[in-house]
């Protein structure tokens, strides 16, 4: 058995700094692990709370859907069908009555050239309360109709013009006729 006596053959190593750094990094990693585990636990608890809230809201939606289907069943009964038709008709009348005809004609008078006649005018109101005018206009020359289309598109009261059809004059109708649809900027 050989006992090493010479310290020069195995010099003293300075491992203390490396050991302390390793312990420090290990402690930092353990602290990070504890923090991540705490965040995971908090996330799991929050997810469980959100799941309970979603379940409560789904139960309320299902209850509201059941009430809605029950009420729709009542509304679909033949005795109530006439009332629904009447309310739709009255709502349509209210929408049409909400159009200011004097303002509409005043705006048309300012926009339509004098050589163009409005032969028919049918306003409609959509579900977003936008007014659309379906018009049949007539003029002795096609140039007057083109002037009308330009004037409507340039007017701030009217929007995009859709030209559906143009008919030349006949013996029964001496005017060039044009059926157009234009958005009207009157808010209801």
Which pLDDT belongs to residue 64?
A: 95
The token pair that represents 184 in the structure block? 């009207």
Q: What is the pLDDT of residues 75-96, one digit of tens each?
A: 778 777 777 788 888 877 776 6
The token pair that represents 21 in the structure block? 């750094």
Distance CA 49, CA 160 (A): 52
- Stated pTM of the model: 0.48
CATH class label, 100-184: alpha beta
Distance CA 97, CA 107 (A): 17
Domain boundaries in the chain?
A: 18-76, 100-184
């Amino acid at each position: 058995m050989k006992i090493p006596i010479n310290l020069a053959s195995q010099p003293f190593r300075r491992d203390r700094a490396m050991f302390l750094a390793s312990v420090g990094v290990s402690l930092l990693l353990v602290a990070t692990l504890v923090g991540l585990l705490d965040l995971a636990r908090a996330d799991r608890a929050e997810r469980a709370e959100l799941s309970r809230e979603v379940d409560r809201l789904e139960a309320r939606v299902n209850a509201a859907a059941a009430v809605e289907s029950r009420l729709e069943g009542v509304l679909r009964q033949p005795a109530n069908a006439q009332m629904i038709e009447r309310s739709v008709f009255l709502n349509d009348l209210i929408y049409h009555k909400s159009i200011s005809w004097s303002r509409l004609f005043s705006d048309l008078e300012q926009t339509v050239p004098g050589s163009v006649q409005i032969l028919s005018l049918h306003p409609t109101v959509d579900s977003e309360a936008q007014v659309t005018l379906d018009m049949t206009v007539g003029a002795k020359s096609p140039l007057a109709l083109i002037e009308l289309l330009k004037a409507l598109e340039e007017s701030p009261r009217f929007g995009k013009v859709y030209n559906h059809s143009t008919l030349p004059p006949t013996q029964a109708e001496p005017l060039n006729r044009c059926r157009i649809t234009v958005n009207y900027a009157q808010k209801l």
